[in-house]
C-alpha cells in the first residue's frame, strides 16, 4: 500500500473527511496576491485597499481560493496552499 493510500485509509477509518490532494490545483496571479496578503494577517478591507479593489472583490477571490483548495477558512487555505507548494515555505514563515 502506498503512503497516499495508507493516509486515505487511516482518515476513512477515523472518520475524517477525505482531503483533496490533487497537486494540479492552480490559483490565478490575483488569487495568490490575495492569499499572500491574507497570510500577512491583513483583513479583507486591508487587502482591498492594498490591491485597489473593493472588499467584495477580495471576498470573491477568497471564495474561489477556498473552493479550489477545498477549505473553509483562511487558516486552512494557508495550510493547504503551503502543503501543495503554492506558497513557498520561506514566504509562509516570513508572514507569521
Q: What is the CATH number of the domain that holds 34?
A: 1.10.10.10
Calpha distance 11→5 (Å, rounded)? 10
Count of the separate structural domains present in the chain: 1
Outline where 1-96 has alpha helix (H): 3-13, 29-39, 44-51, 55-69, 74-83, 89-95
Q: Which domain holds residue 32?
A: 27-95
| pLDDT confidence of residue 13 | 52
Q: What is the pLDDT of residues 32-69, one digit of tens each?
A: 999 999 999 999 999 999 999 999 999 999 999 999 99
Residue 58: which region, alpha, beta or left (left: phi > 0; alpha: psi -120 to 50)?
alpha
CB 35 within 8 A of CB 84: no
Whole-number Å distance between alpha carbons of 51 and 61: 12
Share of the chain above pLDDT 90, in %: 61
Tell me, yes or no, whether 3 lies in a domain.
no
Q: Which has the higher per-residue pLDDT, 24 or 45?
A: 45
CB atoms within 10 A of CB 57: 16
Q: What is the pTM of this model?
A: 0.70
Asked if residue 54 belongs to a domain, the reply is: yes
Q: Is there a domain that residue 11 lies in?
A: no
Structural domain includes residue 76: yes
Q: Is residue 83 part of a domain?
A: yes
Amino acid at each position: 500500500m502506498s503512503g497516499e493510500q495508507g493516509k486515505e485509509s487511516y482518515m476513512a477509518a477515523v472518520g475524517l473527511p477525505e482531503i483533496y490532494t490533487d497537486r494540479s490545483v492552480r490559483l490565478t496571479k490575483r488569487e495568490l496576491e490575495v492569499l499572500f496578503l491574507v497570510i500577512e494577517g491583513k483583513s479583507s478591507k486591508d487587502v482591498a485597499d492594498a490591491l485597489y479593489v473593493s472588499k467584495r472583490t477580495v471576498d470573491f477571490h477568497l471564495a474561489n481560493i477556498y473552493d479550489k483548495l477545498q477549505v473553509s477558512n483562511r487558516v486552512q487555505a494557508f495550510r493547504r496552499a503551503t502543503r501543495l507548494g503554492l506558497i513557498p515555505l520561506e514566504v509562509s514563515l516570513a508572514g507569521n
